[in-house]
Amino acid sequence: MGCGVAQPPPGRTPRTPEYNPGIRAPAAHTQTTPGPRLAPAPTPTQTLIGRVAEVVALDELRAAAEHGSGAVALLTGEAGIGKTAVVEEAVSRAAAAGVTVLTGRADPDEGAPAFWPWLRLLDSDVDGLSPSLLALADAGEPAAAARFRAIREVLSALAVVATRTPLVLVLEDLHWADPASLALLAALAREVSASRILVLGTSRTGLDLPEATVLPLGPWDVPAVAAYLGRLGPAHGTWAAVVHQLGGGNPLYTRELGRLLVREGRLARPAGDLDLPDSLRRLVTRRTAHLAPACRVALGVAAAFGAEVDTTVLELVELAPAVEAGVLVDDPWAPARLRFAHELVRQACYADLSREARIGAHARIADALAAASAAPIEVARHRVRAAVDPASRRLAAESCVAAARQATAALDHGEAVRWLTRALENESTAAIRLERAGAAYRDGQLDLAVGDCEAVVDEIGAPAALVIRGLGGFGGPLAPALLRLCERALARPLDDADRAQVLAQYAFLIAEMHDGPRAEPISREAMTLAERSGHPGALVAAIHARHEIMDPMLGVDEVLDLARRGAELAVPGGRPDAELWSRVWRLDAYLCLGDLAGFDAEQARLAELADRLGWPVARWHLLRARAVRRMLSGQVTEALVTAIEARDLALRAQDTSAGLLLPAFQDGLGQLTGDTPGWDNDLAAIAITIPGVPVGVTMLARIAMRAGDRERAAEQVAQLRGILPRLPVDGRRPFIVVSAGEVAAWVGDRDFAAQCYRLALPYAGRYLNNMSSCNGAVDRSLGVIAATLGDPAAERHLRDAVAMEERQGSPPFLALAQLTYARFLRTGDPKTSRDLAGRALATARRLGLHKIAEEAATLAGDDLLTAREREIAGLVARGLSNREVAARLFLSERTVETHVRSILRKLGLTGRADLRGTSQYQH
């Protein structure tokens, strides 16, 4: 029965990973034979999880004890927290260091003799130590005196033994220790500092030991739980947070949950619901088994309340014993709130409730929360769980609607959809379904929004047709369904205001599907009815429809006026989307006018609006604005990244038509960088997806031109020739007319180019820039077309384009305009051509616009650098230093340095490294 060096405590099986894997990490093999462990102790990070600091602290205390500065260390923490695992690690390391380890454990059973853990510790093979040191049987000696004598004899014996060998005394479960044992420990703690003894105790509670170093063990954090689960086998990363939340980071509970996951083969799969295993339920139930029945009932109600219980709302005076038992924990800074020590404890208490008790508890809690004016979401989650009859189901639906509106106010539209879905499960009404459609639209769940609207449009009419606004572009997949909603709503009796709004929505969708002639009279009727009704919402809708069927470049002043009116009507009309569209229209107008200062100010207002609304569509427009602004500034890489981010957001919001805007944006960038959108080999496939759509055909024609595919471009021009006579007047018209003329000129179709030129002339002085993409000053394209036609107006257009880009302040499009003008002047005025090309080259190299830089360098010719500068540039490009160049050309180093600075300035380069990458000077 001895407790020899490094042996396990008497009367118990050595702790192995199989016995307690939730505390000590599993291993392939663990030594279980009693006796000293002779191998060097492993580092704590190899065998323990999350307890490195404690093991290191015990190592330091043991090392100090070995040198005569003993100490008492007390590991504290709840059951299963891993105290024994840390002790075992410390014992293993002490034994490996040649230290004698003696162990004892307190017993919770009644009848255990005084000094029981010490008796077990002293029952050893160490000379001078024996349980007889604590014998109290001398006849006639007072009990107190006998106890004092025994304690002194034990202290003396331990001190003598420690002079021969350092000692580590392990006393576990001291929360069960008898007063005599604690008195001996307190006496040793007062004297141990001058000895070679380290006392290592464990307790679930604190002890009155002022001299002790207390090491409280807290729960594992999520990374520690993840590390433990990883030891069990391949573990999906989502389980760590779930297991940590459920087990509260308690290693013992984590072990049981981990065993369950391994047993069910779920550990490697994504996390899901996790039922409480029976073994863990029994383990948890022990913590509450000794509590009075009234306390256990109150715990069940508290478990229904949630992880935290607000005692100001729910008076449960019977919970005091649960706090004393550590089942519930209070916060001295918030004494009115109690929380369960572990989520597992709460779940076990909740699972013990009968169905009737559970429903009654939730009903009681919901009533109490409602009476206390608690947050609607708090009330709703209990109303739902108490909904069993028509009255309670109606209450649940009302609470869920209130919760959804709270979520909407917080811009959490996804949460609003979830609560409204709960409401519909309890009471399905058209009003709730319409409200869910609105929340789903704002959250980007467009399929759900359309489905809800279709379900109620015949019952409620106009409101269902007006939920989803501003979508359906390019005849996208939503457009037919939205058109049908309008048609079904218009089949019902409507007042002027409602009819105006539905007609406006109808006109907008028809115009988006490229049928402007049909949309125009419908839009006009909508405006007439809106003005007659005076209804703000109807006026907003009519304004939106009007904007859709006008040419915004020719009517830019009217666009700004419509934007102003729409913004003014947004609040009285209850149409926050009206402000959104007004800001987008302004942004397009400022781009058309080349007013970047106005654009920047409006973009800031759009950012504020997007934050206020929290709508994906508002965020999408903001990203588009940022992408365009970065393009105009010459930040081509950042611009493309932002445009892709906008596209991805639109696709997540199920607006697939918005994905077609990315190629248009890439095409605009391609003018500057020479990069094609990556669609060169897929043009036929794209044409199939948007057959005959004017803007799509135009985009394909431009991409083909950018890729140098004349045959493909000519095919698209042939289609455009048939499209142009019936082209509707709308926001896409300028892009189609100008681009068609430029591509026609490129493929040599002079007749069609001349036709497009005449139609595009009214756009002179404007910029073909909008929120979808930028193409720069219209005059640049007019100059290109006119040059092909031999029209003398070409030079004026190109000169005006350079002036316009200078005025706008867009470096990349200024470089493009300079290059285009230089190309035109190459034979007629070579000196001016080279000067323009040189300026374009400097800008292009600075911004990384490779396509412009390549042609500009050719046009700039020999006049850009002097003969000596070209010679020096070639040597520097080959990697020679200034000193080496000076030696090669018989120049001073200072002269070479001056030439290099001039070369860098002329070429728009920032340093010698850039010149070394300029291959044209390496010969």
Helix (H/G/I), strand (E/B), else coil: 513: coil
At 101 the pLDDT is 94
Contact present, 603 and 584 (Cβ < 8 Å): no
Residue 777: which region, alpha, beta or left (left: phi > 0; alpha: psi -120 to 50)?
beta
Q: Chain centroid to CA 733: how far?
A: 39
Compute the CA torsion angle 477, 481, 486, 490 (nearest 10 deg). 150
Strand order in the sheet with 328-331: 308-310, 334-340, 328-331
Q: Chain centroid to CA 906: how far?
A: 46
At 312 the pLDDT is 78
At 442 the pLDDT is 87
Q: Reply yes or no on whether the pLDDT at 268 is more than 90.
A: no
Across the chain, mean pLDDT equals 84
Task: For residue 205, name the pLDDT band (cuts at 50, 70, 90).
Answer: confident
**Which stretch, 170-179, 321-330, 690-699, 760-769, has highest mean pLDDT?**
760-769
Look at 176-190, 465-479, 566-580, 834-848 and tell me which has the smallest mean pLDDT: 465-479
Count of Cβ atoms closer than 10 Å to residue 571 Cβ: 12
Upper half-sphere CA count for residue 47 (Cβ side, 13 Å): 20
436 vs 81, 397, 401, 466, 467, CA distance in Å?
A: 46, 13, 9, 14, 10
The amino acid sitting at 620 is: W
Q: Reply yes or no on whether the pLDDT at 738 is more than 80.
A: yes
At 824 the pLDDT is 94
CA distance 140 to 461: 103
Contact present, 647 and 660 (Cβ < 8 Å): no
Of the candidates 492, 472, 397, the residue with the CA atom closest to the CA atom of residue 436: 397
Beta partners for residue 202, in sequence order: 75
More confident residue, 796 or 7: 796
Over residues 273-286, the mean pLDDT reads 68
Q: Exposure of 430 by Cβ count < 10 A (0-12 exposed, 13-18 middle, 19+ buried)?
A: middle
Please measure the distance between the N-terminal and C-terminal CA atoms of the chain and give it in whole angstroms: 93
CA distance 48 to 227: 10
pLDDT digits (tens, 9 = 90+) for 310-343: 887 777 767 888 887 778 887 666 677 888 876 6
At 559 the pLDDT is 93
Helix (H/G/I), strand (E/B), else coil: 599: helix
Compute the CA torsion angle 301, 302, 303, 306 (nearest 10 deg). 120
* Proportion of the chain above pLDDT 90, given as a percent: 44
Q: CA angle 247-253-257, nearest 5°? A: 85
DSSP class per residue in 61-126: HHHHHHTT--EEEEEE--TTSSHHHHHHHHHHHHHHTT-EEEEEE---STTPPTTHHHHHHH-SSS
CA distance 278 to 284: 10
DSSP character at residue 667:
H
CA distance 435 to 454: 13
Contact present, 745 and 720 (Cβ < 8 Å): no
Strand (E) or helix (H) holding 894: helix 893-907
Helix (H/G/I), strand (E/B), else coil: 776: strand
Strand (E) or helix (H) holding 694: helix 694-707
At 213 the pLDDT is 93
At 141 the pLDDT is 64
Q: Reply yes or no on whether the pLDDT at 741 is more than 50.
A: yes
At 228 the pLDDT is 85
pLDDT digits (tens, 9 = 90+) for 6-22: 333 333 322 222 223 22
Residues 6 or more apart whose CB falls under 8 angstroms from that of 863 comprise 831, 834, 838
Residue pointed to by tokens 């105790």: 201
More confident residue, 918 or 109: 109
Residue 233: which region, alpha, beta or left (left: phi > 0; alpha: psi -120 to 50)?
left
At 428 the pLDDT is 94
Residue pointed to by tokens 């000590």: 24
Please give the structure tokens belonging to residue 12.
Answer: 């118990």
More confident residue, 219 or 397: 397
At 882 the pLDDT is 92
At 687 the pLDDT is 47
CA distance 23 to 253: 9
- Long-range CB contacts (< 8 A, 24+ apart) of 332-337? 336/310, 336/311, 336/312, 337/308, 337/309, 337/310, 337/311
Beta partners for residue 75, in sequence order: 202, 215
More confident residue, 595 or 374: 595
At 786 the pLDDT is 96
Contact present, 151 and 184 (Cβ < 8 Å): yes
Residue 270: which region, alpha, beta or left (left: phi > 0; alpha: psi -120 to 50)?
beta
Over residues 558-580, the mean pLDDT reads 86
CA distance 495 to 505: 16
Residue pointed to by tokens 């499209």: 723
Helix (H/G/I), strand (E/B), else coil: 167: strand
Of the candidates 432, 288, 258, the residue with the CA atom closest to the CA atom of residue 350: 288
Strand (E) or helix (H) holding 767: strand 767-769
pLDDT digits (tens, 9 = 90+) for 109-149: 655 678 989 998 998 889 999 999 998 755 456 767 888 88
890 vs 184, 872, 881, 893, CA distance in Å?
A: 96, 12, 14, 9
Q: What are phi and psi of 237, to 5 degrees?
A: -60, -20
Task: For residue 692, name the pLDDT band (cuts at 50, 70, 90).
Answer: low
The amino acid sitting at 5 is: V
Beta partners for residue 516, in sequence order: none
At 663 the pLDDT is 80
Of the candidates 366, 405, 369, the residue with the CA atom closest to the CA atom of residue 383: 366
Q: What are phi and psi of 587, to 5 degrees?
A: -60, -45
Beta partners for residue 198, in sequence order: 71, 168
* Proportion of the chain above pLDDT 70, given as a percent: 86
Q: Chain centroid to CA 700: how far?
A: 35
At 494 the pLDDT is 92
Task: For residue 47, name the pLDDT band (cuts at 50, 70, 90).
Answer: low
Residue pointed to by tokens 């973009």: 603
Please give the structure tokens belonging to residue 744.
Answer: 């026609």
C-alpha radius of gyration, the chain, whole number: 41
Q: What are phi and psi of 337, to 5 degrees?
A: -115, 135
Q: Reply yes or no on whether the pLDDT at 188 is more than 60.
A: yes
Look at 367-381, 421-435, 498-512, 848-862 and tell me which has the smallest mean pLDDT: 848-862
Please give the structure tokens belonging to residue 564.
Answer: 């102003």
Contact present, 778 and 767 (Cβ < 8 Å): yes
CA distance 786 to 794: 5
Beta partners for residue 839, in sequence order: none
Alpha helices in 748-892 (DSSP H): 750-760, 778-789, 793-808, 811-825, 830-847, 850-860, 867-877, 882-889
790 vs 577, 699, 737, 782, CA distance in Å?
A: 48, 26, 19, 12
Compute the CA torsion angle 198, 203, 209, 215 (nearest 10 deg). 70
pLDDT digits (tens, 9 = 90+) for 626-678: 999 999 999 999 999 999 999 888 887 666 666 667 888 888 888 888 776 55
Contact present, 577 and 470 (Cβ < 8 Å): yes
The amino acid sitting at 423 is: A
CA distance 503 to 514: 17
